[in-house]
């Protein structure tokens, strides 16, 4: 795989020294109390950079970096994938730019990749010979199930379920958080076929003492040590017994692709993608909270209360992430879109989801939040499927615009404008914004 050169971007400049960045980017020293580009010659310079005046510049929050100037990441070619942006090549981690997620059902070649170790050989070969799933621990009847056993002994289900990485949006944290610098594309909603986890656990005779599960997969640790566990996370029994938590063996009508857990993976929708273990070989039913790798310490945990950016939080004040927050992305138009001449109308499309909940409303603005309109919102095809939305905008005059989207769930939770900071860069559900230029 070849790597393209990367240059220093506007986001990095503003993180280091906002006033100096203002001068470098827009040729204007910061005005007292506000960034220089929001006033006078600085605003005119910004308009020149964007290629258009900004009709609603008066509404722009101080310090806002225009969406049209967002950074792009290094790109690689990945077998079986189309257009993904690779953030790491050991292990492979890659996200999908939002405009390539416009399909109602995310196709396999556009679904993001999140790996923690080295893919197992059986997945590379797409050969399940010798594979079995062990169910043990707090069960009366430990099981060893082949792929044929899963297909023949249990009722199959097919559900559209979304999966999102817990660190999706980490790139926007300031101070920066360590880890893969996901922007927006570590999410997808596919059609999964498999069997309900609860049916398998019931067949194993789950005991009253069971409170949690932990999974183990066939992937290999980056060190190459076959005895070292890559990742072993889990979830409370009640989440595993939810009828939408499944052991999947097909994705969009095909055997699981190698990148996505062949031959069998867990899909525990609405929770961090790390709960949906790939290449799974063992489910350990526990009488305590699972304590495998990436279940303890600060992994997949956030503060129990709001903290100021950069705050050190004691481990005792962290809790394990469960349901992901309400969120949406705009998939059309692509940021940076310019409308054709003599056209000020535009359809906006996207998807919204809400962890264990349901999205009740999606709002759209094109004047930096001064006014909002309700988008048309589809109901989910089943629980835990993302929901499609669309809206039609008529721009008042030519210029540079930003379209923002915010979703509201059935509990009244709304996407914020500002990040709720945490040291690991999890759960960023801030509003998505895209840049549009209207020429006439």
Output the average pLDDT for the chain.
89
d(CA 253, CA 261): 15
d(CA 122, CA 255): 13
Give the contacts of 284 (CB within 8 A, at least 6 positions apart).
Answer: 136, 137, 213, 214, 215, 216, 234, 290
Chain center to CA of 411: 21
Contacts 24+ apart (CB under 8 A), 252-258: 252/105, 252/107, 252/108, 252/190, 252/191, 253/191, 253/193, 254/108, 255/126, 257/80, 257/108, 258/80, 258/119, 258/123, 258/124, 258/126
**pLDDT value at residue 59:** 81
Chain center to CA of 26: 32
d(CA 369, CA 347): 18
Indicate whether 430 pLDDT > 80: yes
In the sheet where 345-353 sits, what is the strand order? 327-332, 345-353, 387-394, 376-377
Q: Express each pLDDT in 356-379 by its tens digit.
A: 999 999 999 999 999 999 999 999
Helix axes 18-26, 40-50, angle to 10 degrees: 60
**pLDDT value at residue 174:** 94
- Angstrom distances, CA of residue 439 to CA of 25, 35, 146: 23, 26, 60
Nearest to 397 by CA among 64, 56, 58, 69: 56
CA atoms lying within 13 Å on the CB side of residue 6: 14
CA atoms lying within 13 Å on the CB side of residue 71: 18
Domains of the chain and CATH, by start: 10-61 (no CATH), 85-320 (3.90.420.10), 327-438 (2.60.40.650)
**pLDDT value at residue 432:** 98
d(CA 132, CA 118): 19
Query: Strands 85-89 and 92-95, how do they pair?
Result: antiparallel
Percent pLDDT > 90 in the chain is 79
Nearest to 244 by CA among 189, 301, 282, 165: 189
Give the contacts of 147 (CB within 8 A, at least 6 positions apart).
Answer: 128, 131, 249, 263, 264
Percentages of the chain per state (helix, strand, coil), in multiples of 5: 20, 30, 50
**pLDDT value at residue 42:** 58
What integer is the mean pLDDT of 14-18?
56
Indicate whether 414 pLDDT > 90: yes
- Angstrom distances, CA of residue 340 to CA of 46, 323, 345, 440: 22, 42, 10, 9
Q: Express each pLDDT in 131-183 by its tens digit.
A: 999 999 999 999 999 999 999 999 999 999 999 999 999 999 999 999 999 99
Nearest to 45 by CA among 58, 32, 28, 62: 28
Nearest to 415 by CA among 333, 353, 368: 353
d(CA 206, CA 1): 46
Q: Express each pLDDT in 22-78 by its tens digit.
A: 555 554 444 443 444 445 555 665 665 566 788 888 887 665 667 776 544 444 578
Burial of residue 140, with CB atoms counted within 10 A of its CB: 0-12 exposed, 13-18 middle, 19 or more buried: exposed
Q: Express each pLDDT in 281-333 by its tens digit.
A: 999 999 999 999 999 999 999 999 999 999 999 999 999 999 999 999 999 99
- Answer with the residue of higher pLDDT: 433 or 8: 433
- Answer with the residue of higher pLDDT: 13 or 303: 303
Two structure tokens written together for 403: 């379209």
Sign of the dihedral through C-alpha 84, 87, 88, 92: negative
pLDDT tier at 1, thresholds 50, 70, 90? very low
**pLDDT value at residue 79:** 84
- Angstrom distances, CA of residue 307 to CA of 296, 304, 314, 326, 430: 21, 9, 12, 20, 16
**pLDDT value at residue 65:** 67
Two structure tokens written together for 409: 């769930």
Q: Express each pLDDT in 229-255 by its tens digit.
A: 999 999 999 999 999 999 999 999 999
d(CA 279, CA 124): 11
**Radius of gyration for the alpha carbons in the chain, expressed in angstroms and rounded:** 23
**pLDDT value at residue 420:** 93
């Amino acid at each position: 795989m070849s790597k393209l050169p990367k240059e220093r971007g506007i986001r990095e400049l503003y993180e280091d020294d906002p006033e100096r960045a203002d001068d470098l980017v827009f040729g204007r020293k910061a005005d007292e109390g506000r960034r220089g580009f929001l006033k006078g010659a600085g605003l005119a310079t910004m308009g020149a950079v964007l290629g258009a005046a900004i009709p609603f510049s008066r509404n722009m929050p101080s310090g806002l970096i225009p969406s049209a100037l967002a950074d792009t990441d290094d790109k690689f070619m990945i077998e079986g994938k189309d257009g993904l942006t690779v953030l790491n090549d050991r292990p492979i981690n890659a996200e999908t730019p939002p405009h390539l997620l416009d399909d109602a059902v995310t196709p396999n070649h556009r679904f993001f990749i999140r790996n923690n170790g080295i893919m197992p050989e059986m997945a590379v070969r797409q050969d399940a010979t010798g594979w079995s799933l062990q169910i043990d621990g707090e069960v009366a009847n430990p099981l060893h199930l082949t792929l044929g056993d899963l297909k023949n002994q249990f009722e199959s289900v097919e559900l559209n379920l979304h999966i999102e990485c817990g660190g999706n949006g980490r790139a926007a944290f300031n101070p920066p958080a360590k880890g893969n610098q996901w922007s927006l594309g570590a999410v997808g909603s596919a059609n999964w076929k498999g069997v309900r986890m609860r049916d398998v656990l019931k067949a194993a005779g789950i005991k009253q003492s069971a409170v949690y599960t932990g999974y183990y997969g066939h992937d290999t640790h980056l060190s190459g040590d076959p005895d070292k566990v890559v990742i072993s996370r889990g979830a409370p029994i009640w989440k595993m017994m939810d009828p939408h938590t499944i052991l999947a063996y097909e994705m969009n009508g095909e055997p699981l692709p190698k990148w996505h857990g062949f031959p069998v993976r867990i899909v525990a929708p609405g929770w961090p993608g790390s709960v949906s273990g790939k290449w799974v070989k063992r489910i350990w039913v526990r009488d305590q909270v699972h304590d495998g790798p990436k279940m303890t310490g600060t992994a997949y945990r956030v503060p129990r209360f709001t903290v100021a950016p950069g705050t050190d939080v004691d481990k005792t004040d962290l809790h394990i992430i469960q349901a992901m927050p309400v969120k949406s992305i705009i998939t059309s138009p692509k940021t940076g879109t310019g409308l054709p001449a003599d056209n000020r109308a535009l359809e906006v499309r996207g998807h919204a989801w809400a962890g264990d909940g349901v999205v009740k409303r999606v709002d759209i603005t094109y004047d930096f939040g001064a006014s909002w309109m309700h988008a048309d919102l589809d109901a989910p095809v089943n629980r835990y499927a993302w929901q499609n939305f669309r809206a039609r905008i008529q721009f008042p005059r030519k210029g540079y615009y930003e379209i923002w989207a915010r979703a509201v769930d059935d509990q009244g939770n709304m996407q914020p404008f500002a990040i709720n900071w945490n040291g690991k860069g999890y759960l960023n559900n801030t509003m998505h914004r895209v840049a549009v230029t209207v020429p006439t």
